[in-house]
Structure 1
Amino acid sequence: MAEEKSVMVVGIEDNQHSFYALEWTLDHFFKNYNYNSNNNNNNNSLFKLVLVHAKPTPASIIGLAAGPGNVEVFSAIESDLKKIAARVTEKAMEICHAKSVNDVVVEVVEGDARQVLCDVVEKLHASILVVGCHGYGVIKRTVLGSVSDYCAHHAHCSVMIVKKPKIKA
C-alpha cells in the first residue's frame, strides 16, 4: 500500500519574488526526483505540490467607493482580477514544466492572501508552506502587512520564507 505524500503549499502571486520562491523550491525539493521518474510525473518526490494564488475580491480593491451604482467598475475589476489569476497560474505552470515538475495542483482562492494560505494549509494538512519575501522595510511592512510574517505566526505547519538575493554591484 502506497504511503500518502506530505503536502507542500507554495503561495504564488504576480511578482518576481513569488516566482523566484517557486523556482527555488522546485530546484531544492524536486530537482533530484525529476530524473528518476520514468513518466516525468515526479512520483518519487517527497511532497505533493500545491500552488495557491489568492485572488483579491473586487470590494477589497475599491473599498467603500463601490456603491450600488458602480456595477460596471465592480465588473471591470473582477474581470481584471480573473485575468491576473489566469496569468499567474499559467506562468507558475510554465516554470514547473520547464523544470520537469508536472505533478502539480493549482488552486485559485478568493480572499486575503494571509488568510487564504493559512486556510489552505489547514484544509490540506500541509507539512510546509513556502512563500516569497518582498524584502520590505519596517514601515512598508507595517503599512502594507506582510503575508510571510502573518503566515509564519499563524499557519499550522512549518513556513519557509524564500528571499531573492540582492544583486551586488
Structure 2
Amino acid sequence: MAGPGALGSEVFPTIEVQLKVIAEDVIQKAKVDNAVVEVVEGEARNVLCDAVDKHQASILVVGSHGYGVIKRAVLGSVTDYCAHHVHCTVMIVKKPKMKH
C-alpha cells in the first residue's frame, strides 16, 4: 500500500493543468490584463498567507462555505485563519443562497 501523498504525485500534474484552464477562463471573463496564475500544493491557509506575502497583495478575496459555528470550530476555517494572519485587507465572499 502506498503512503500518504503517493497518489498526489501522479494526480497533481493533471489537476494543475485543469485548474490553470479554469483560472484562465475566469481571467478572460473578468477582462483582467495583469493576473498571474499559480497552482500551489499545500495546506490552503498556509499557501494563501504565503502568496499574500510573496506578491505583496493589498487584498485577499476568499470564499466562505457558510458552515455553522460548531462545524467551523471543530474543522477550523481557512477564511478565519487568513483574516487573522495576513497583512492586508481580506474580503470574504459568501456563497449565494439557493432559490427554491
Is the shorter-chain TM-score for this pair beyond 0.5, marking a shared fold?
A: yes
In the alignment, is residue 70 of structure 1 matched against residue 5 of structure 2? no
What CA deviation, in whole Å up to 9, does each residue of 1:128-162 have, x standing for no partner? 00111111112322232211110001111010011
What CA deviation, in whole Å up to 9, does each residue of 1:94-134 have, x standing for no partner? 12113332431011223211011111111222110011111
Q: Counterpart in 1 of 2:65?
A: 134
Q: 1:156 aligns with which of 70, 84, 87?
A: 87
Q: Distance in 2 between matches of 1:149 and 1:92?
A: 24
Q: 1:87 aligns with which of 14, 18, 25?
A: 18
Query: What stretches of structure 1 of length at least 5 have no aligned partner?
Result: 1-68
Deviation at 1:167, TM superposition (A): 2.1
The number of residue pairs the alignment matches comes to 100
Q: Counterpart in 2 of 1:111?
A: 42
| Structure with bigger RCO (C-alpha 8 Å, 6+ apart) | 1
Structure 1 vs Structure 2: percent identity of aligned residues?
Answer: 55
Q: Secondary structure at the match of 2:39?
A: strand
- TM, length-normalised to structure 2: 0.82
User: Greater CA radius of gyration, 1 or 2?
Assistant: 1
Query: What stretches of structure 2 of length at least 5 have no aligned partner?
Result: none
- TM, length-normalised to structure 1: 0.52
Identify the structure with the greater strand proportion. Answer: 1
Q: Distance in 2 between matches of 1:145 and 1:93?
A: 30
Q: Secondary structure at the match of 2:92?
A: strand
How much is the aligned-residue C-alpha RMSD, in angstroms? 2.0
